[in-house]
């Protein structure tokens, strides 16, 4: 198996990915700021990270992944105040939503999910600020502690911004900003009326957003770890500031490899609340799109290319999934005894090698999917000629299932449990067909179709699958 290569935002080159510890990858994914339910733009990043995680495991690595929750910042505090409930209670509902959506999209669980307001991580943030103070990287103003950008000569190395072009003498308290209005950034914010704050060794207050991820990442993964990921919108200022404060405190490289997923647009337009096109997973499920179609569409485009998320694309994704699921079902119906033909074994081997080559080439999921579908096409041809043996079927099935350990989208429909009412309808349709009441049989098929269940009548009986 060839070596995995990934684009490193730090430098902008495609580089061989080599973890510090042989056989073990330590990675950090910037999670949600939990003031609202995550939208499909967020989940494009989380699905691409899930594919990377799965492929690292496919290649034999042990993975330790951290996905944080930013549960204290300007937006979460404002939301909790408006709702009139404590901050932790307010943010917990959106954390619960996140796990629900991850489960729907078949995203594997990370090993750690730290919250910024967990006491052990607040303590780590305070300790990090103290280290920065000792090294001369900070100053205090009106009770807040700021990072001096001029004290870190490498500032800008990730985003490659023109630091000289930033407004000198400007300091920012807001958690989100652009380079045009930024210079020094806040590490620890002075307490304000109505805001959550903590009494600490560096004074009362609360952490700035950037400080949180540095402290949580290094607390769990060490002062230098292998990979840090997120959406491209986080490159500046968030990840740039993480590097400055982390390396400013330790004097060591913070992260060896930075990975960023491109933006998602919807129906050709930028996603925004004002345009009414900021969808979340339950929104789309309510429109009868399956979670697996959503996942498939999110991973089907190379992560460094912009993805145009459309309803037509979701329909095409559902069709693609059905094609593979139907192929797997047909393989299960092969009855001809015999081992795999050499040609079959060679075709399967070549398809798996193309799949691996594509993913080793900067996680090119679109090329990896092409390898899978070429294999399915060849398999369907063999099935149609009635020459396939059980050995051939096992070879094709094993290859698809092996690839699907990375994709995580195929064969999921069969996991849906039919409730008693639907089972009763399927049985009633069978009886209607037996008495040649085809009008009633068609009514039942249409009713089940509206519920997202597709029926297929085959020589061996009626099969069902989820749209």
Q: Domains in the chain, please, with CATH? A: 5-261 (3.40.50.620), 269-414 (1.10.730.10), 416-466 (no CATH)
Token pair of 461 as six digits: 């009986």
Q: Is the peptide bond before 237 cis (omega within 30 degrees of 0)?
A: yes
CB 233 within 8 A of CB 306: no
The alpha carbon of 97 is separated from its chain's Cα centroid by a whole number of angstroms, namely 15
Query: Is the pTM higher than 0.85?
Result: yes
Q: Is 178 exposed, middle or buried (0-12, 13-18, 19+ CB in 10 A)?
A: exposed
Nearest to 385 by CA among 440, 330, 443: 330
Report the alpha-carbon distance of residue 253 to residue 138 in Å, rounded.
20
CB 187 within 8 A of CB 89: no
Return the number of other C-beta atoms located less than 10 Å from residue 308's C-beta: 15
Report the alpha-carbon distance of residue 134 to residue 201 in Å, rounded.
14
Nearest to 138 by CA among 122, 127, 150: 150
CB 1 within 8 A of CB 13: no
Report the alpha-carbon distance of residue 216 to residue 120 in Å, rounded.
9
Report the alpha-carbon distance of residue 80 to residue 206 in Å, rounded.
15
Tens of pLDDT along the chain (467 residues)?
689 999 999 999 999 999 999 999 999 999 999 999 999 999 999 999 999 999 999 999 999 999 999 999 999 999 999 999 999 999 999 999 999 999 999 999 999 999 999 999 999 999 999 999 999 999 999 999 999 999 999 999 999 988 877 766 677 777 776 666 678 999 999 999 989 999 999 999 999 999 999 999 999 999 999 999 999 999 999 999 999 999 999 999 999 999 999 999 999 999 887 788 889 999 999 999 999 999 999 999 999 999 999 999 999 999 999 999 999 999 999 999 999 999 999 999 999 999 999 999 999 999 999 999 999 999 999 999 888 999 999 999 999 999 999 999 998 765 444 556 777 788 888 888 888 888 888 888 888 887 777 787 765 567 676 55
């Amino acid at each position: 198996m060839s070596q995995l290569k990934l684009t490193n935002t730090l430098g902008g080159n495609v580089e061989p990915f080599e973890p510090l510890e042989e056989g073990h990858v330590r990675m950090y994914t910037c999670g949600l700021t939990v003031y609202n339910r995550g939208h499909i733009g967020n989940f494009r990043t989380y699905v691409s990270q899930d594919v990377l995680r799965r492929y690292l495991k496919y290649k034999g690595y042990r993975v330790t992944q951290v996905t944080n929750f930013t549960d204290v910042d300007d937006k979460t505090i404002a939301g909790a105040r408006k709702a009139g409930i404590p901050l932790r209670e307010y943010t917990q509902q959106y954390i619960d939503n996140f796990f629900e959506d991850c489960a729907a999209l078949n995203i594997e669980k990370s090993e750690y999910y730290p919250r910024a307001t967990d006491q052990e991580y607040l303590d780590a943030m305070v300790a990090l600020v103290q280290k920065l103070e000792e090294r001369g990287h900070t100053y205090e103003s009106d009770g807040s502690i700021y990072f001096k950008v001029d004290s870190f000569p490498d500032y800008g190395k990730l985003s490659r911004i023109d630091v000289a072009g930033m407004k000198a003498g400007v300091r920012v308290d807001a958690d989100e900003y652009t380079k045009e209005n930024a210079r020094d950034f806040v590490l620890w914010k002075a307490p304000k009326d109505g805001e959550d704050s903590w009494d600490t060794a560096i004074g009362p207050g609360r952490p700035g957003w950037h400080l949180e991820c540095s402290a949580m990442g290094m607390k769990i993964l060490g002062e230098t770890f292998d990979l840090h990921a997120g959406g491209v919108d986080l490159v500046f200022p968030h990840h740039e500031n993480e590097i400055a404060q982390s390396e400013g405190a330790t004097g060591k490289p913070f992260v060896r490899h930075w990975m960023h997923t491109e933006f998602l647009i919807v129906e050709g337009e930028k996603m925004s609340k004002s345009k009414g096109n900021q969808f979340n997973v339950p929104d789309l499920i309510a429109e009868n799109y399956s979670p697996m179609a959503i996942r498939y569409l999110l991973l089907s485009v190379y992560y460094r290319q912009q993805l145009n998320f459309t309803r037509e694309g979701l329909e095409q994704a559902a069709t693609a999934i059905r094609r593979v699921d139907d192929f797997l079902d047909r393989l299960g119906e092969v009855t001809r005894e015999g081992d795999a033909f050499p040609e079959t074994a060679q075709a399967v081997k070549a398809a798996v090698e193309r799949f691996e080559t594509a993913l080793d080439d900067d996680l090119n999921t679109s090329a990896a999917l092409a390898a899978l579908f070429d294999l399915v096409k060849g398999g369907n041809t063999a099935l149609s000629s009635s020459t396939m043996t059980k050995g051939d079927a096992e070879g094709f099935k094993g290859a698809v299932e092996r690839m699907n350990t990375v994709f995580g989208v195929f064969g999921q429909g069969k996991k849906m449990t039919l409730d008693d009412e639907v089972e009763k309808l399927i049985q009633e349709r069978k009886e209607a067909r037996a008495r040649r009441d085809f009008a009633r049989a068609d009514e039942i098929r249409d009713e089940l179709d509206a519920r997202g269940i597709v029926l297929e009548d085959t020589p061996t009986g009626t099969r069902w699958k989820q749209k």
